[in-house]
Amino acid sequence: MIMLDAIHFSYEGIYTALRGVSLQVDDGERVAIMGANGAGKTTLIKHMNGLLRPQSGKVFLDGRDTTSLSVAEMARTVGLVFQSPDHQLFLDSVYKEIAFGLRNLGLGDQEVEERCSKTMDTLGLKGLAERSPFALSGGERKRVALASVLVTEPKVLALDEPTIGQDAQQKEKLAELLMGLNQKGRTVIVVTHDIEFVIEHFPRTVAMANGKIVADGPTNSVLSSDRAIELCSLTYPQMTQAARALKHRFPQVTERLTSLAEMEETIMSILGGRRR
């Protein structure tokens, strides 16, 4: 469990990124954090693994006050994948990048080889093992950065804008990977602007604006809230936009539709039938 209690943080005393944020993420949850640029989303998740420390307030990992934990100890629990892979990658081959964290943990050569091979296969990187990460496309570098964190098997995986630079097929593979990890008990947290990705795969959404949490709850409720959408400068989900258009003709249609399944049910109801 991750708990943040009344966290305040400002950069060099000039820009206040977090203003008394309190948040609890329980084991095994899938949580999306959304909001406009500068809302404090990335600053928030950096507090979860010790890259940033609160200037006031407390962070707890599994009940332990993180003031007593090193960054390395926190990173073993919360693995963070940066938005820009170039801030995370520094070695001259994909394999070395992925193996680096395992060698720091003191694992033997055979286990390092097995874990790296499995992770590269999962993320479609096997053919790139000897390539320099900096010679790869942006989407490929993001997958290398993800692999370098995923291979260490952290209890919590936090990803900052993981779908940027990924095509539709890679986004689907990423979703399958994250859902598989979650089914095995891992907690998954994403910071993203990809509203359709969130609707399809994340049951809880935390909406942020101006360094504060302005909404936290079921995704279909948060992302159909006029207040949350306006404060966070988000765009309504496509299904919500369609539902509002339908409501002009069919008053019984609810405006809080967010998923394709909900839309199918609504249309079948309008037609007098039931969805099979």
Over range 268-273, report the average pLDDT.
73
pLDDT-derived band of residue 14, with 50, 70 and 90 as boundaries? confident
Q: How many angstroms separate the CA atoms of 1 and 39, rounded? A: 23
Length of the chain: 276
Q: How many angstroms separate the CA atoms of 35 and 96, rounded? A: 35
> Given a cut of 90, is residue 183 above it in pLDDT?
yes
pLDDT of residue 87: 84
pLDDT of residue 276: 44
The per-residue pLDDT for range 42-51, each reduced to its tens digit, is 999 999 999 9
Over range 214-227, report the average pLDDT.
91
pLDDT-derived band of residue 275, with 50, 70 and 90 as boundaries? very low
pLDDT-derived band of residue 173, with 50, 70 and 90 as boundaries? confident
pLDDT-derived band of residue 260, with 50, 70 and 90 as boundaries? low
pLDDT of residue 257: 58
**For the chain, percent of residues with pLDDT exceeding 70:** 96
Over range 17-31, report the average pLDDT.
97
pLDDT of residue 251: 76
Q: How many angstroms separate the CA atoms of 57 and 26, rounded? A: 19
pLDDT-derived band of residue 159, with 50, 70 and 90 as boundaries? very high
> Given a cut of 50, is residue 209 above it in pLDDT?
yes
* CA nearest to 223, candidates 266, 259, 189: 259
> Given a cut of 70, is residue 111 above it in pLDDT?
yes
pTM for this structure? 0.86
Over range 92-118, report the average pLDDT.
91
Options 1.10.3720.10, 3.40.50.300, 3.40.50.720, 3.40.50.11540; which CATH number does 2-233 get?
A: 3.40.50.300
Under a CB-based contact definition with an 8 Å cutoff, are residues 38 and 232 in contact? no
CA dihedral 179, 183, 189, 192 (to 10 degrees): 10
Q: How many angstroms separate the CA atoms of 4 and 37, rounded? A: 21
* CA nearest to 246, candidates 230, 225, 269, 229: 269
More confident residue, 166 or 152: 152
Domain ranges of the chain: 2-233, 236-276
pLDDT of residue 265: 78
Q: 């720091």: which residue's tokens?
A: 104
Extract the tokens encoding 4. 């943040």
Over range 81-106, report the average pLDDT.
89
Who contacts 32 (Cβ-Cβ below 8 Å, separation ≥6)?
189, 190, 191, 192, 198, 202, 204, 205, 206, 219
CB count within 10 Å of CB 192 equals 20
pLDDT of residue 77: 92
3-state secondary structure 220-256: HHHCCCHHHHHHCCCCCCHHHHHHHHHHCCCCCCCCC
**For the chain, percent of residues with pLDDT exceeding 90:** 57
* CA nearest to 159, candidates 136, 135, 193: 193
More confident residue, 259 or 108: 108
Q: How many angstroms separate the CA atoms of 72 and 238, rounded? A: 41
> Given a cut of 80, is residue 179 above it in pLDDT?
yes
> Given a cut of 60, is residue 273 above it in pLDDT?
no
> Given a cut of 80, is residue 264 above it in pLDDT?
no
